Amino acid sequence: MKTSLDTSKIGKTDISVTRIGMGGAPLGGLDSKTARDTLEYAYAQGIRYFDTAPLYGSGLSEIHNGGFLSTLKRTDFVLSSKVGRLIIPGQDIPFNYTKEGILRSIDESLTRLNLDSIDIVLIHDPDDHYSSALTEAFPTLAKLREEGVIKAIGAGMNQWEMLRRFAEDADFDCFLVAGRYTLLDHSALQELMPLCLEKDISLILGGPYNSGILASDLDSKSTYFYDPSPLEVIKRAKKIKQVCDRHQVPLKAAAIQFGLMHPSVAATIPGPRSPEEIKDNIAMALIQIAPDLWRELKQEGLIHQDCPE
């Protein structure tokens, strides 16, 4: 397996991202100094792929990212942000996948980022808006890609089913899928991931720790998809940890490396809240894991037989 700071190409583009990127959702809840320290540390450790969105902290994540990234040479990092939600002061953030909404969203993101380009633009959470995402948002982004304004088009979602439909119906470069190919959830494995390989669509994995449980002490306070972890999920995670313990591998190391072994996956983007969390993520990604661990997890029925080793 490639190491965390090796790079992988995004689809058929010339974009290469570090295998460990920086998920930007937590930055939306951080103060300026902590966010800046975290971004600077990520870059110092070799991370060159940064993801953000207008939705994260109502634009604050983009502002924090831009405050640091705008000081760098533009070719020294890859940035993804998202479209489909417009920030209107004093109002809930509405969905908008129209041509006008997409163009406005990109313009406003560039202002918050203090940059003149975004490498990868992802259609954000169009769960109830498939038609407008496909017939309005995608053609708008495709024109920008053709003109060289953006380099890649993707969609970012917490489900895999609609991403499969997008893969069948349009020329996407990548998908960001959160929490659907992890040690605890293999739901993207059999239908989305083979199709992405066939279509040369790269996957970016969000939520490699399933919002916390796989980076926790596996107690009743852990979270799974941002809710309290169900007892049966905790029990399964503990069984996985027992196998990891027998192989002297931290559960967190297995969690962050699991997704990266699949050939459709270009990167995984945990969302750190501090330099310390970045340091730990990278350390976990660099631990050597023998294939025997994955084989035992399969023998115990804890991961799917088709998961790559």
Domain with 123 in it: what CATH number?
A: 3.20.20.100
Mean pLDDT within 46-55: 98
Domain assignment of residue 309, yes or no: no
Identify the band that residue 225 occupies on the pLDDT scale cut at 50, 70 and 90.
confident
Domain assignment of residue 259, yes or no: yes
User: Domain count of the chain?
Assistant: 1
Mean pLDDT within 188-209: 98
Q: pLDDT at residue 3 above 70? A: no
Indicate whether this model's pTM tops 0.85. yes
Q: pLDDT at residue 1 above 60? A: no
pLDDT for 91: 77
Boundaries of domain holding 115: 7-232+251-290
Domain assignment of residue 301, yes or no: no
Domain assignment of residue 2, yes or no: no
Domain assignment of residue 103, yes or no: yes
Domain assignment of residue 222, yes or no: yes
pLDDT per residue as tens digits for the range 75-124: 999 999 999 999 988 778 889 999 999 999 999 999 999 999 999 999 99
pLDDT for 128: 96
Residue 152 near residue 123 (C-beta atoms within 8 A): no
Question: Which residues does the annotation mark as catalytic?
Answer: 51, 56, 82
Q: How many angstroms separate the CA atoms of 150 and 117, rounded?
A: 7
User: Closest Cα partner for 51 from 148, 138, 176?
Assistant: 176
pLDDT per residue as tens digits for the range 231-243: 999 999 999 999 9
Domain assignment of residue 43, yes or no: yes
Domain assignment of residue 308, yes or no: no
Average pLDDT, the chain: 96
